[in-house]
Structure 1
Amino acid sequence: MNYRRKAFWLGTAAAALSVSVGAHAQDSQSAPGGTAAGDAAMGDEIVVTAQKREQNLQNVPVSVSVLSASALSDNRVSGLEQLSQVSPSIGFTNSANTRGQGLSIRGIGTLNFSDGVEPSVSTVIDGVVIGRSAASFFDFNDIERIEVLRGPQGTLFGKNSSAGALNVVTGKPDLYDSSLEASASYGTFDDVRLKATGSVVLDQGRAALRLSGFRSKADGIITNTADGRKLNDNDSWGVRGKLLFEPSDVTSIYVIGDYGESNRNCCVSTVRSVMPTTTYYNGETRADLLADQQLGPLNREVTIDGDYFNHQKTGGASVEVNTELGGQTITSITAYREFQVFDNNDPDGVPLPVISLNNARQKQRQFTQELRLTSPAGEPIEYVAGLYYFWQDVVSRTQVKGKLVVNLPGDLYLGNQVDRDITTKNVAAFGQVTGHLTDSLSLIGGFRFTSEQAVAHFDRTILPGAVAAMPSLGGPAYVAPTLKATDTDLSYKLGVQYQATPDVMAYFTYTRGYKGPALNLLNNLTAVTVDAGLAVLKPEIARNWEAGIRTTLFDRMLTLNVTGFYETFTDFQAQTYSAILTSFQLTNAGKLITQGAEVEAILRPADGLSLTGNLAFTDTEVRGLIVSCYAGQSAAQGCVGGRQDVTGEALTNAPKWAWTLNANYGADIGNDLRGSANLSFTWRSKTLFGYRDPNTAQPGYGLLNGRVSLETQDGRYRLSLFGKNLTNRHFASFIGAGLLDTSAAGAGYTQLLTPDAFRTFGVEGTVRF
């Protein structure tokens, strides 16, 4: 811990030194962008930082869409796991805990329980990369906007962004005006959400403080009939503080600290179907044990004897310094973050101790330092160049306990404990140059040189008190030799941009992305795997060809953007599950392909009315990936020796079609009041959660959300009524074979449900001063 603290303060000292240099540079020409990007937007412009500088979205040669604070609020989107409801290019796959959940972009994403495999979709919060996927699942609090960057973003965003990145920007203190905003809402499932944000001017034009906090609580939507408890609930809170200080016209210092907790009884699966022949160690059948449940897609009951919980803590601090020297902007971002989680689930789904304990305690710590040099905008040559350092340490302990299929007498059980840790270091140099050959034609070139190192330890023992190891989910006692993975890589980007008119821009880019080697730290790691060199997965290489056109038409009444892409992944780091072996497996897929088009449109046909539409057509294909057969799969259906080659199949949970439509209207209605209404609809086409397994199919579905509001014309008071999933379209966020509920003939299936799968209503009040 002392090392991390020293590193943090050394980074801060380096940042302070750069401030000292910049404060004495009297020849600077402009101030360093201390204002929030949202405040920089003029008229209908949308300002983004997708290229590490503030730019009008219509001038950025990147496939990026922006989700504003109002879009998130209107659709009651409170976390990353709900973004797929407002952004058709994003996918989310649920799991029994946050460690196994995952996001995807254009159908590509990493779903993995191994501590040695990092996400392919990066989450960046106020310039700080989040090293673990689980640490990204937090309640949205004081969010200004989210930029969805599609395709490899490694040149500028680096680590964990081979499939894309989510650039989350939170609200910034205001140096000139103090303000306060608070809201409270109540909805179905006793869903209570409280939020407050205040910005205080400490020194006019020089220093301001912003504080925000939230509290969310909702009843669970699943009932455990064994004890009456409600599961899959919500219980979280968090705070964030920010200090913005501008000691001179060319220097700003931005300090951020945040902390949050989530204590949920989640994430339990309900049973859709059972195999009539499934019988447990004591002779009881699964069908008899679950006879009182109404099995099927709408089942909201479980009957279990084990516990379900997910206790999560996340926090950190960062210091961002911007200063100018000779017209160049120097940026330093120094950050330290921690993440802790303790979770357990009862995966057997019955009131017997088949596997009643399946838990994990994990702690992650990370330190990052980014130093960046940015040229002035509008020059013949514009560039961004920098250095980046990332250090991460993940320590975890997992335990599994139960009788499994053995009829042990009394309280005897099988069990394993697995202790592991992994330390990762990543050092990179990066840069991107845009050369404006003429007023219309520009060339783009970028690179990132990365050096990656990971060192891990793995120790599996018999759980104290157990009579033997737990097969499949554990194994015999085993201490692996130190596992190491090192690699260097040069990723890059090339492109051309053409500004045909002030309102029409086209571009073409080729990008080579990269994600470093991974380590297999799953519970069932064996000496055979390690000795064969299969515990180290190859790096993941992405290649993306992309063309786009950005237009603003009819006197700015219509904004229409179209992007086409062809993207390949070589040696994609994949995790598959065998229902027969009841175990997860890690492998490099031979090749993944995702190709398609993205269309985004904003129409402003009349004062107060705006219509938006987003379409994503994503055609995915996997090649050279061999996985376990699904239960009941025949030779005619591709199963040979318990394995199947899924070459030619679409990726799991990757809908071919997804689109959203949104309508907003607001108008003054007299008596110093203003009314507004929002209506949005999201559609996602059919997907499979398991390769070729028709029983894991989620049919296509659409979600209709709405909100009506009445507020004072000065914006101080507002009352809103909202509804989500108004047509009550049910859907699952994951479907899979039930644990030990398989045979040669087939399997029973389980599903994960969220509150968004049911119609909900509520009311919200907001005050602003």
Structure 2
Amino acid sequence: MPVLERGIVMTLRNILLGATMLCAATTPAFAYAQDAAPADDTATANDADYGNEIIVTASKRSQTLQDTPIAVSVTSAADIENAAIRDLIDLQSAVPSLRVSQLQSSANTNFIIRGFGNGANNAGIEPSVGVFIDGVYRSRSAAQIGDLPNLERVEVLRGPQSTLFGKNASAGVISIVTQKPQYEFGGAIEASYGNYDAITVKGNITGPISDTVAFSLAGNYNRRDGYARDLNLDTDVNDRNRWGVRGQLLFEPTDALSIRLIGDYDKIDENCCIAGNVIAGPTVAITNALAGGPSVDANNPFSYNVYNNFLSTNEIENYGGSAQIDYDLGNLALTSITAYREVRANTNQDSDFTSADLIGQNSQQLGIDTWTQEVRLTSDFDGPINFLLGGYYFNEKIKQKNDIRFGEDFRPYGNALIQAASGGALSVPALEAALGAPSGSFFREGDGLDEAYRLKNTAWSIFGTVDFEVTDRLTLSAGANYTQDRKKFATNVISTDTFSGIDLNDPAFAGFRNQLLLGGALQQAGVNPNDPAAVFAFATNPATAATFQAFQAFANANQNNPAANPLNGLKPFQFLPPFLNLPNSVEPGKTSDNDLAWSVRASYELTDTVNVYATYATGFKASSVNLSRDSRPLASDLAAIGAAGLTTPNLVSGSRFAAPEESEVYEVGLKANWSVAALNLAAFKQSIKGFQSNIFTGTGFALANAGKQSTWGFEFDGSVRPVDGLNLTLAVTWLDPKYDSFVNSAFGDISGTMPAGIPELTMAAGGTYTHEFAGGTKAIFHVDYHYESPVQIVEGLTGLPASVAQNLKREVNQLNASFTVALTNGFELGVWGRNLTNATYLTTIFPAVAQAGSVSGYPNQPRTYGVTGRFKF
């Protein structure tokens, strides 16, 4: 293999600078012993021996992750097999600092590191946690969650990453590496069968085409029946159905030149994701009546029984290609990575999660086209100074079309809400008549919003690091990243919701409001305003005539007073008001950001087995755009919008975009590695100014910047080998997060409070025992346990007291295990189980859509188990 090929580390994107530039604290729970540096650029595992050391090489130098001070957890292919990790959602059970949440569709997955992360539910929001696959940035979750075949390892880098990645990441990075083509013919095929009729097949083959060209082909197929039951539709839901293919060519025409071409395609077509009823509010009685029976499994989210009136759609295609060129210039190495990717997602969901036909359609068609180019120059001098210098370009276009429409039952549902809100005084037909609207026009089936959005994002950055070996034991490092990011966005949203387009404060309705004010006052006095005789008697009786005149005076004085408007109670039912599109004369639909992020590090080798380090680093994420029906002008623009005559009925302020995130971390750590044990300790304070919060309010999402979110934390991971073949591991993360400042949240000023969903204590404990029999057959037993301490799931719930949200907590206790027999001829047979105790918890909760007082939530996946056969050749 060429020298350059041995000198490039794909997972850390060549972030080590030659000497000890990269600082990484590997999770020993997932590191295997290696007697010497590997011949290629990969972190490798000795299948016969579980140990405490994992070797990588960068810039043509071998170095253990244990020797370098960046906080990173490594999960190898063997770990993924033993723990039956099927996708990135399962990975969190192995990496305590990582949390992955599956939200309302297969295209919405949220990644959180050390309590920081966002990006799901809105294509205009870039994630704070960057995901890279074979060095290529995947900008949205729809492009990240496919089941990749032929994995080599997954690395989770914690804290802001800027100076070693062209694409800045304010909270951390997940780097996924697949195996590159080999010049020795080989491959593997794996088949698994489990409960819920789950079938998983994976295969790969690699080998030489010539002395200088190698290839690999890989594919995967993953299907499973639904583990939940829709009792209204009488069918299983939450199934899995996805497949993918991946091809690679490796050209090495000379010892100095290496070209790696990758092309891939994967597709998802499945029904996801159920929401159970956590709290049954007063509207459940209405939806039950409309459905003619149960509309939800009330207050029982873990029954996995749901009621919908149509199945959800999740059709996602993700495909693209990349070319990596590495050229060895002697003491310098030049790397270029060019990539183009497309995502096409078509989703639809019964978003009211009831068997009443309230939301007849909530669909999205999303297209994302992304082109990236990165160039890096890395030195490998014998002297004390080495460097990395790089440039990065990012170009992305997003087209999104949404449709949300009322179902058949929404008109009677809206009528019931209005009658309840008015004490029976009003109804939908009565309102239509009083407000001059055509009969049957309010909450009409098929009405709603037609939405179209466009976003173009271009960004470039220059980044680099310098590494100075002061002594054989002391290394100082510094790095910087200058980024410019520009976004242009446009909307074309049309509302056909007649009721939401009516200004209930309009002077034209003064007479109607006068009548309601007078009628309300009479009712308070015990007089039925709908009984003319009773009203006349009250008005003419000398004892009450003065009171009646006072009532009239009050109604006359307040008929145009918005604060006393008797129709104010109906405004929450104006769900889909007219939309002010942009760009317009006040709002240009543009953002432009720039930032200089930097880092300094010092690492010192106390002994041959103990290192200490200190790091200060900053990170950056550019403005995110609100590509949703909740995109509304900033409060500061409302006056100018009014002056320009652009005001639409019921226009209120909100956000068109969230300002950038700026993060920083102070971190000190100690790493030790002995013959039978290893440990890593890290203490840090990490914060993000302007954290981009995206909270669901029951009818939409509120995108806003928190003033500052921070956390103190400690991370420990250690392993010990008390006897040959036995490896015991423990990884613990403790966090003390808070909103230092968040004045304008969806729930008011929550400054000083603890952000929801971030457990104080997370732990991953495990053990693997390998026994080798005479003749070479091996038996491998693995068990791991994942724990998260109780934590409040959401900051608040719109329309409910704060105490309700405070009492809704999540605690995770998950036990996983596997047992595998590996024969000498390459055959392996094993059994596995995840969540063996069938522990239950809610991953996310939210106010039920248009159902005030009700709360829905996504339950975790129940116990799964199965058998796996594997053949390696």
TM-score for both structures, normalised by structure 2: 0.77
Cα distance in 1 for partners of 2:718, 2:163 equals 28
What is the letter of the counterpart of residue 90 of structure 1?
A: L
Q: Identify if the C-alpha distance between structure 1 residues 524 and 44 changes in structure 2 by more than 3 Å, giving closer, same or farther.
A: closer
What is the letter of the counterpart of residue 422 of structure 1?
A: L
Q: Which of 711, 715, 720 is the matching residue for 1:603?
A: 720
Return 308-317 or 96-105, whichever deviates more.
96-105
Cα distance in 1 for partners of 2:499, 2:109 equals 31
Cα distance in 2 for partners of 1:462, 1:644 equals 29
Cα distance in 2 for partners of 1:109, 1:741 equals 28
Q: Which of 667, 690, 700 is the matching residue for 2:811?
A: 700
Return 666-675 or 57-66, whichever deviates more.
666-675
Cα distance in 1 for partners of 2:474, 2:169 equals 28
8 Å CA contact 1:91–1:653 kept in 2: the answer is: no
Q: Which of 214, 231, 240 is the matching residue for 2:237?
A: 231
Q: Are 1:585 and 2:702 matched, yes or no?
A: yes
Q: Are 1:207 and 2:213 matched, yes or no?
A: yes
Q: Which of 494, 518, 541 is the matching residue for 2:662?
A: 541
Q: Which of 457, 471, 476 is the matching residue for 2:578?
A: 476
**What displacement does 1:364 show?**
0.4
**What displacement does 1:606 show?**
1.9
Cα distance in 2 for partners of 1:594, 1:111 equals 20
Return 125-134 or 260-269, whichever deviates more.
125-134
8 Å CA contact 1:52–1:384 kept in 2: the answer is: no
8 Å CA contact 2:372–2:395 kept in 1: the answer is: yes
8 Å CA contact 2:405–2:447 kept in 1: the answer is: yes
**1:146-169 deviation line (CA, Å, top 9, x unaligned):** 111000001112435100001111
Q: Which of 653, 677, 685 is the matching residue for 2:781?
A: 677
**What displacement does 1:216 show?**
0.3
Cα distance in 1 for partners of 2:761, 2:280 equals 31
Structure 1 equivalent of residue 201 of structure 2:
194
**What displacement does 1:132 show?**
1.5
**1:209-256 deviation line (CA, Å, top 9, x unaligned):** 111100000011121112212211100000111111211112211111
8 Å CA contact 2:52–2:673 kept in 1: the answer is: no
Cα distance in 2 for partners of 1:657, 1:47 equals 30
Cα distance in 2 for partners of 1:93, 1:694 equals 24
**What displacement does 1:294 show?**
6.4
SS in 2 for 1:70: helix
Cα distance in 1 for partners of 2:197, 2:242 equals 14
Q: Which of 594, 597, 602 is the matching residue for 1:491?
A: 597
Structure 2 equivalent of residue 79 of structure 1:
87
Q: Are 1:106 and 2:111 matched, yes or no?
A: no
Q: Are 1:713 and 2:824 matched, yes or no?
A: yes
**What displacement does 1:285 show?**
7.0
Runs of 4+ in structure 1 off by over 6 angstroms are 40-43, 49-54
SS in 2 for 1:38: coil
**1:265-322 deviation line (CA, Å, top 9, x unaligned):** 1112121331245454x89378x74278364142211111133121111111111111
Cα distance in 2 for partners of 1:230, 1:627 equals 42
Structure 2 equivalent of residue 181 of structure 1:
188
**What displacement does 1:367 show?**
0.6
Structure 1 equivalent of residue 533 of structure 2:
none
Q: Which of 444, 452, 464 is the matching residue for 1:419?
A: 452
TM-score for both structures, normalised by structure 1: 0.87
8 Å CA contact 1:119–1:160 kept in 2: the answer is: no
**What displacement does 1:83 show?**
1.8
Cα distance in 2 for partners of 1:576, 1:74 equals 37
Structure 2 equivalent of residue 145 of structure 1:
153
Q: Identify if the C-alpha distance between structure 1 residues 703 and 395 changes in structure 2 by more than 3 Å, giving closer, same or farther.
A: same
**What displacement does 1:500 show?**
1.5
What is the letter of the counterpart of residue 670 of structure 2?
A: I
Cα distance in 2 for partners of 1:154, 1:419 equals 33
Matches for 1:296-335 after TM superposition, within 5 Å: 296-335=300-339
> Larger C-alpha radius of gyration, 1 or 2?
2
**1:418-446 deviation line (CA, Å, top 9, x unaligned):** 10010111110000111001101111100
Cα distance in 2 for partners of 1:134, 1:53 equals 36
Matches for 1:97-136 after TM superposition, within 5 Å: 97-136=105-144
What is the letter of the counterpart of residue 762 of structure 1?
A: G
8 Å CA contact 1:431–1:448 kept in 2: the answer is: yes
Q: Are 1:525 and 2:631 matched, yes or no?
A: yes
Q: Are 1:164 and 2:172 matched, yes or no?
A: yes
Cα distance in 1 for partners of 2:753, 2:56 equals 36
Cα distance in 2 for partners of 1:292, 1:122 equals 37
Structure 1 equivalent of residue 769 of structure 2:
665
Q: Identify if the C-alpha distance between structure 1 residues 132 and 530 changes in structure 2 by more than 3 Å, giving closer, same or farther.
A: farther
**1:664-687 deviation line (CA, Å, top 9, x unaligned):** 111123465321111111111112
8 Å CA contact 2:614–2:669 kept in 1: the answer is: yes
Q: Which of 391, 398, 404 is the matching residue for 1:387?
A: 391
Q: Are 1:366 and 2:487 matched, yes or no?
A: no
**What displacement does 1:335 show?**
0.6
Count of residue correspondences: 708
Q: Are 1:557 and 2:562 matched, yes or no?
A: no
Structure 2 equivalent of residue 730 of structure 1:
840
What is the letter of the counterpart of residue 284 of structure 1?
A: A
**What displacement does 1:522 show?**
2.0
Which structure features the higher share of strand residues?
1
What is the letter of the counterpart of residue 702 of structure 2?
A: Q
Which structure features the higher share of helix residues?
2
Task: State the identity as a percent.
Answer: 29
Q: Which of 246, 264, 277 is the matching residue for 1:240?
A: 246
8 Å CA contact 2:166–2:374 kept in 1: the answer is: no
Return 668-677 or 492-501, whichever deviates more.
668-677
8 Å CA contact 1:268–1:345 kept in 2: the answer is: no
Unpaired runs of 5+ residues, structure 1, are 1-32, 630-642
Structure 1 equivalent of residue 855 of structure 2:
749
**1:83-141 deviation line (CA, Å, top 9, x unaligned):** 21111100123311245431100000014433322100000111111112331121132
Cα distance in 2 for partners of 1:627, 1:687 equals 23
8 Å CA contact 1:668–1:674 kept in 2: the answer is: yes
What is the letter of the counterpart of residue 602 of structure 1?
A: S
What is the letter of the counterpart of residue 230 of structure 2?
A: N
Cα distance in 1 for partners of 2:790, 2:57 equals 34
**What displacement does 1:190 show?**
0.9
**What displacement does 1:368 show?**
0.6
What is the letter of the counterpart of residue 720 of structure 1?
A: G
